Amino acid sequence: MSDLAPKTDDRVHRYNLRVYFEDTDAGGMAYHARYLHWAERARTESLRDIGLPHQFMIERHNAMLVVRRIEVEYWRPARLDDPVVVETAILRVTGAQILLSQTVRAAAGGEDGAPGERLAGLKVGLVCVGQRSLKPVPLPEPWRSVLRDLVVPAAAG
């Protein structure tokens, strides 16, 4: 395997953020599209945290990951100034595709460190495409191997 191995044994990446005024509607609730922005940032940071930023894939392989499909279910709104966390888990990695589960939660506030309440859930299908052709291409190494090693067990996904 590459020397660019994951920095953590935890297979679920967590990205912390706060709901700002710019994220909210007139009622002080996070606008539904902001969850997509937060999920995108969390995916970018998860790649960066394992030492394989998206930019390296573009520079070294002329390939990039693009969203092919996304499903969102909303359970409860985040509100102005709420601390939230986006959890990203890899469910499946195939030749050119990655399936992710992302959960937006209220940040844990209790002493037990238990996860906060679910606010939204996303199922995200990514596909690796050539930068110029925009046609599917196999995930380059070491992304393919490292991401496969981070797939969560079926029971946890």
To the query of whether residue 112 is one of the catalytic residues in this protein, the response is no
CA distance 150 to 130: 24
b/e sequence 124-151, b meaning 16+ C-beta within 10 Å? bbbbbbeeeeeebbebeebbbebbeebb
* 8 A C-beta contact, residue 16 and residue 157: no
Q: Find, among 86, 88, 60, the residue nearest to 150 by Cα.
A: 88
Catalytic, out of 10, 23, 25, 82: 25
3/127 Cα distance (integer angstroms): 24
- Asked whether the beta carbons of 85 and 12 are under 8 A apart, the reply is no
* Catalytic center residues: 25
